């Protein structure tokens, strides 16, 4: 990370209380950036508060779908760099309530892009897409030339947001890049329906971890600190390498099944519990295999991850052990 580049730079982070957002804020604050965050919902248990970084940034309450708010924030705070991370990111919620997902993920993205187009001081924008934007493909791993063809609500929302970024670059030369990452895991994820934090909490409570699917779904699992570092590296190199309009996959390139991840966590925590595999009907809408090639990021950016799966899981387990010990009442019993 180039601390000199970020020192006193004015940066907007949408979704700073979210999983990825909280880690990017930590890195930016440590580098001396002036960070402004747009927050819709107040979540006192969020990692941004737990880490102690909330008082170190300027917080604006509002919705990223509010274009007038975005234009005001970009202008009044003289924002130079934008990380657009705010989204409804839970697949089962998107399936149950697609309209709120479309509102946040699609309208929120076009509102942000349009506000940036009207703001002459904005020099770089990094937008969080997802491997889900590719939809289901016959050829794996996905590379950046793979067509975007989401079918289910969350996947469609990410395909649309991704294409909006491309449109704003091609039509208006907006300096925007897109990231497509695998499944993030690590300390600070408050969604206990996700497999890694849910499994850790179950083990700490001496209860069998629950797998909603049949356990055979294959995914990339990408440690959150590697993800945050990748976002910052991309933003740092956008201008010098003329990367506006480009998309980048970030991944460890070691896909594993859900059941394998759960068993690794059980092993690392020294637990003899056995997972409860539900094979629930709602999991039928999830894609069987999704994983990414990060060759472009290696070649163009010189990027590489620092953590393999076991190293990342060890850090993650330690984080949750400390977190629950300090504030178990936040989540209570599952």
Q: In the block, which residue shows the tokens 């590296």?
A: 233
Peptide bond into 141 cis (omega under 30): yes
CB atoms closer than 10 angstroms to residue 284? 9
185 is catalytic: no
Query: Under a CB-based contact definition with an 8 Å cutoff, are residues 102 and 157 in contact?
Result: yes
Pick the closest to residue 261 from 167, 146, 183 (CA basis).
183
| Catalytic-role residue among 54, 154, 291, 323 | 154
Structure tokens at 178: 């897109």
Helix ranges restricted to H, 10-134 = 19-30, 47-50, 67-76, 91-96, 98-102, 108-117
- Which residues have C-beta within 8 Å of that of residue 244, sequence separation ≥ 6? 124, 169, 173, 174, 175, 176, 177, 238
Structure tokens at 103: 């509102």
User: Distance between terminal CA atoms of the chain?
Assistant: 38
What residues act catalytically?
A: 154
């Amino acid at each position: 990370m180039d601390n000199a580049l970020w020192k006193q730079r004015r940066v907007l982070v949408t979704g700073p209380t979210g999983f990825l957002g909280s880690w990017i804020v930590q890195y930016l604050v440590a580098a001396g950036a002036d960070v402004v965050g747009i927050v819709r919902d107040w979540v006192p248990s969020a990692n941004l508060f737990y880490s102690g970084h909330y008082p170190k940034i300027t917080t604006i309450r509002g919705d990223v779908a509010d274009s007038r708010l975005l234009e005001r924030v970009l202008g009044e705070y003289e924002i130079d760099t934008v990380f657009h991370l705010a989204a409804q990111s839970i697949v089962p919620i998107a399936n149950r309530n697609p309209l709120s997902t479309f509102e946040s993920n699609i309208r929120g993205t076009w509102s942000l892009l349009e506000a940036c187009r009207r703001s002459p001081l904005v020099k770089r924008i990094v937008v969080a897409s997802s491997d889900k934007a590719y939809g289901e493909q016959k050829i794996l791993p996905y590379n950046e030339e793979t067509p975007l063809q989401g079918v289910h609500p969350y996947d469609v929302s990410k395909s649309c947001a991704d294409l909006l970024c491309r449109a704003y670059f091609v039509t208006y030369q907006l300096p925007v890049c897109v990231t497509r990452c695998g499944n993030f895991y690590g300390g600070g994820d408050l969604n206990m329906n996700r497999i890694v934090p849910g499994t850790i909490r179950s083990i700490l409570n001496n209860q069998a971890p629950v797998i909603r699917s049949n356990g055979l779904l294959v995914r990339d699992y990408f440690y959150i600190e590697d993800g945050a570092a990748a976002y910052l590296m991309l933003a740092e190199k956008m201008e010098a390498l003329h990367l506006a309009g480009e998309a980048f996959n970030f991944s460890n390139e070691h896909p594993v099944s859900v059941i394998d991840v759960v068993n690794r966590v059980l092993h690392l925590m020294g637990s003899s519990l056995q997972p409860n595999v539900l094979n629930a009907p709602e999991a039928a809408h999830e894609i069987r295999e999704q994983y990414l090639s990060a060759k472009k990021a290696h070649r163009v950016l010189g990027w590489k991850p620092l953590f393999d799966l076991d190293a990342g899981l060890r850090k993650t387990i330690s984080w949750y052990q400390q977190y629950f010990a300090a504030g178990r009442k936040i989540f209570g019993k599952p």
